[in-house]
């Protein structure tokens, strides 16, 4: 495999609201520099599939990466705009809590977005694995969850400081490395913040801010609401929209039951400082003007983590925790397999006589 160093095809300002028709302002990689292992599917979406692979560079040699494979869309299509947006955001932002971007490779029919490989899986899988383990606190302890929340807030705040709104923050779009470092991923819906015009309704319903649902103008405070939902899931061990948790309806004007959220957080994480539940509710305020800013959420999480540490003998978040997020996430698959086996065992097989009678 030929080694290739990335080259910059053009300068240009990062402005996802004005996207070029050609892929000319992103880091371009030689197609020969990447190798995809299509037996190792990491994820599949409406527009693309993500595989494990390798990138060969002149400086570092072959390194493991994640490669998003998608058919090159027509220049006038929405899929093309989605691809352009993700590339521009990926190439323009650098932060330890945003997925690292290496570049774009192309062949005649497909585009390949190359990013760092996050072996820990996504936060939703880790949460469900912790629950399936039977002892979620042992699998994913409070201090570690507080640190993960703080890191996610740091990534969001960095985007907002660069006048970018993510617009699809959810647990599935938070990826973990094996050291429990979270990164925000999937920037296809990201946009420059614009106070002068409405943006389209995008995102995932359970994480969507009220003003987005109503089709009103919105800004980075919509991300803060989505982050509030992420934290509510992280500290309640519940999933928004399931079993009546955080359910919103048109009749209720898409308002949350704040008492339900507060109780679920306190029951799910009883050793967390009281300020945590208060912060989550501040993020989930119905009116954007009543929500905290990402910088304030980040600062408050630092204070909450410090208070938690003081009440636990000065312990560091995650100290002594030997499990890796990938092993926790695998508990979910093991639990699913056990449930399927139990269901199969409890289903009586049809007797030959019954089949003959049928």
Distance between CA 55 and CA 43 in Å, rounded?
19
Contact 50, 41 (CB under 8 A): yes
Question: What tokens does 94 get?
Answer: 């650098």
Own/partner contacts of 229-232, CB < 8 Å, gap of 24 or more, are 229/170, 229/284, 230/123, 230/149, 230/152, 230/169, 230/170, 230/171, 230/174, 231/149, 231/276, 231/279, 231/280, 231/283, 232/261, 232/264, 232/265, 232/280, 232/284
Judge whether 168 counts as a catalytic residue. Answer: yes
pLDDT at 199: 61
Could you tell me if 103 and 111 are in contact, meaning their C-beta atoms sit under 8 angstroms apart?
no
> Which domains does the chain show, CATH number per domain?
31-116 (3.30.200.20), 121-312 (1.10.510.10)
pLDDT average, residue stretch 81-85: 70
Average pLDDT estimate for 243-257 = 90
Q: For residue 194, what pLDDT is reported?
A: 65
Residue 69 known to bind ligand: yes
CA distance 163 to 88: 13
Q: What is the pLDDT of residue 313?
A: 85
pLDDT digits (tens, 9 = 90+) for 109-139: 898 999 999 999 999 999 999 999 999 999 9
Summarised one tens digit per residue, pLDDT across range 188-203 is 788 888 644 556 666 6
What confidence tier does 84 reach under pLDDT thresholds 50, 70, 90?
confident
In this predicted model, what pLDDT tens digit does every residue of 26-68 receive, in sequence order?
Answer: 678 888 999 999 999 998 877 789 999 999 988 878 999 999 9
Task: Give the end-to-end CA distance of the chain in Å, rounded to a whole number.
Answer: 61
Could you tell me which residues come within 8 angstroms of residue 42 by beta carbon, excluding any fewer than 6 positions away?
A: 50, 51, 52, 66
pLDDT band at 74 (very low <50, low <70, confident <90, very high): low
182 or 104, higher pLDDT: 182
Average pLDDT for residues 219-236, to the nearest whole number? 98
Mean pLDDT computed over every residue of the chain: 84
Quickly state the pLDDT bin for 15 (edges 50, 70, 90).
very low
Mean pLDDT of 220-247: 97
Catalytic residue (choose from 122, 151, 168, 177): 168
**Residue at token pair 């912060």:** 279
- For 7-17, what is the mean pLDDT? 32
Burial class (CB in 10 A: 0-12, 13-18, 19+), 231: buried
Q: What is the DSSP string of 318-342?
A: TTT----HHHHHHHHHHHHHHHHHH
pLDDT of residue 317: 86
pLDDT band at 78 (very low <50, low <70, confident <90, very high): low
């Amino acid at each position: 495999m030929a080694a290739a160093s990335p080259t910059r095809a053009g300068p240009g300002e990062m402005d996802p609201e004005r996207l070029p028709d050609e892929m000319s302002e992103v880091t371009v990689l030689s197609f020969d520099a990447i190798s995809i292992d299509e037996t190792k599917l990491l994820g599949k979406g409406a527009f693309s599939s993500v595989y494990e692979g390798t990138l060969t560079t002149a400086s570092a040699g072959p390194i493991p990466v994640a490669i998003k494979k998608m058919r090159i869309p027509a220049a006038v299509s929405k899929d093309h705009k989605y691809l352009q947006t993700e590339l521009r955001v990926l190439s323009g932002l650098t932060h330890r809590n945003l997925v690292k971007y290496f570049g774009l490779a192309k062949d005649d029919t497909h585009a390949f977005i190359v990013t760092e490989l996050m072996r820990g899986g996504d936060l939703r899988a880790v949460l469900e694995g912790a629950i399936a383990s039977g002892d979620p606190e042992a699998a994913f302890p409070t201090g570690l969850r507080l640190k993960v929340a703080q890191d996610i807030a740091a990534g969001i705040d960095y985007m907002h400081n660069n006048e970018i709104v993510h617009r699809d923050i959810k647990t599935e779009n938070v990826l973990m490395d094996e050291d429990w470092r979270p990164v925000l991923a999937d920037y296809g819906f990201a946009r420059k913040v614009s106070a002068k015009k409405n943006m389209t309704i995008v995102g995932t319903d359970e994480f969507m801010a009220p003003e987005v649902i109503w089709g009103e103008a919105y800004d980075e405070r919509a991300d803060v609401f989505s982050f509030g939902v992420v934290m509510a899931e992280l500290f309640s061990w519940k999933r928004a929209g399931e079993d009546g948790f955080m359910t919103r309806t048109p009749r209720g004007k898409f308002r949350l039951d704040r008492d339900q959220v507060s109780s679920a957080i306190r029951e799910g994480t009883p050793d967390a400082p009281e300020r945590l539940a208060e912060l989550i509710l501040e993020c989930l305020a119905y009116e954007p003007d009543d929500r905290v800013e990402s910088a304030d959420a980040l600062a408050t999480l630092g204070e909450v983590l410090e208070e938690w540490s003081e009440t636990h003998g000065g312990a560091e978040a995650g100290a002594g925790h030997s499990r890796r997020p990938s092993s926790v996430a695998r508990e979910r698959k093991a639990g699913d397999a056990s449930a399927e086996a139990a269901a199969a065992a409890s289903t009586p097989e049809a007797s030959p006589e019954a089949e003959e009678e049928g």
